[in-house]
Structure 1
Amino acid sequence: MPGQKVRAKVVGHRPWGVVVEIVGYENAGLSASIDMIEQFSRTVGSHDELLAIFPAVGSRIDAVIEQIHRWHPPVSVRLSIRPADLESLSWRCDFCGERITLSPGGDALVLDSRSHDGPGSHTIVSHRHCLAERIRPDSAGEQARALNIGKMC
């Protein structure tokens, strides 16, 4: 689930980042990676400095799930190790475009859209109110559920 913290084991380096296994999901048939260039290229001065912050192969690191792609097997998971994301991951709402917190305590809903016609799915991130506003007014029960799902009673 995007926003979920995980432990990851670094299994390889690539020119753009690192390939990892998510601890506890090693045999789940998914691929996972951290795009180090996308996450850190604006904060380091040179390519050598960027390479120096790549986690070592074999190391275990804390990460947060940023994106999950299920268009076709294998499932592909993009992780973040940015310190700010580990504290509280935010993303843009797919309806309004405003930032939203995916971490626990945030106001994000993560929707998995699927078709009955075949495999694969797509993840949509939404504010609770953005989804509720798009549900038919005569479906008040569904609007209420969108506003309250996952909240502690």
Structure 2
Amino acid sequence: MERFESESLPLMPGQKVQAKVLCHHPWGVIVEIAGYENAGLSASVDMIGQFSETTSSYDELLALFPPIGSQIDAVIQQINRWHPPVSVRLSIRPADLESLARRCDFCGETTTLSPGGDALVLDSRSHEGPGSHTIIAHRHCLAERIRPENGGERARAWKIGKMHEGS
């Protein structure tokens, strides 16, 4: 089976990336994520969604658009791998670059995706065909939902991504 999303699997919400601005649209910018130029994905920054509440006019909003050809720092907000092309939504909000937070898909409370945060990013896939779905969860929300008799997997949920003592 051909999986269109395979090249994008290393990308996940909360991850910081570099991107090149390719073009402007009335709503935002299309970008190319460094290192994924030929991965068959589409990436964008929704400038209206990110900055319309903090600007008083469309001209003020337009002034925030990064210039075409510029390199920008961004954080992955969302990835859609349901169908090709993979679609990546980026944020350039300073607060998100510092610490990206989203709602846990289990409990609905806010969880931090940035390094040092309490979130886990899960990708669900099927053997039946391509495509995947990203689930954001508090570490404890996932660990507590794993059956108690499956202690190894519970322990891994608590430890995955954390540095081991002494390393």
TM-score by length of 1: 0.98
Measured after TM superposition, the shift of residue 87 of structure 1 is: 0.6
In the alignment, structure 1 residue 62 sits paired with structure 2 residue 68: no
In the alignment, structure 1 residue 118 sits paired with structure 2 residue 139: no
CA distance in 2, matches of 1:15, 1:42: 16
CA distance in 1, matches of 2:160, 2:67: 39
Equivalent position of 1:73 in the other structure: 84
Equivalent position of 2:47 in the other structure: 36
CA distance in 2, matches of 1:58, 1:23: 13
Number of residue pairs matched? 153
Structure 1's unaligned 5+ residue stretches are none
Measured after TM superposition, the shift of residue 35 of structure 1 is: 0.3
Task: Spell out the pairing of 1:2-151 with structure 2 (5 A cutoff).
Answer: 2-151=13-162
Cα RMSD (Å): 0.7
CA distance in 2, matches of 1:10, 1:39: 16
Which residue identity does 2:33 align to in structure 1?
I
Quick one: percent identity of the two aligned structures?
A: 79
Measured after TM superposition, the shift of residue 117 of structure 1 is: 1.1
Give the 3-state SS of the residue equivalent to 1:120 in structure 2: strand
TM-score by length of 2: 0.90
CA distance in 1, matches of 2:62, 2:155: 48
CA distance in 2, matches of 1:145, 1:27: 34
Moved over 6 A (4+): none
Measured after TM superposition, the shift of residue 133 of structure 1 is: 1.0
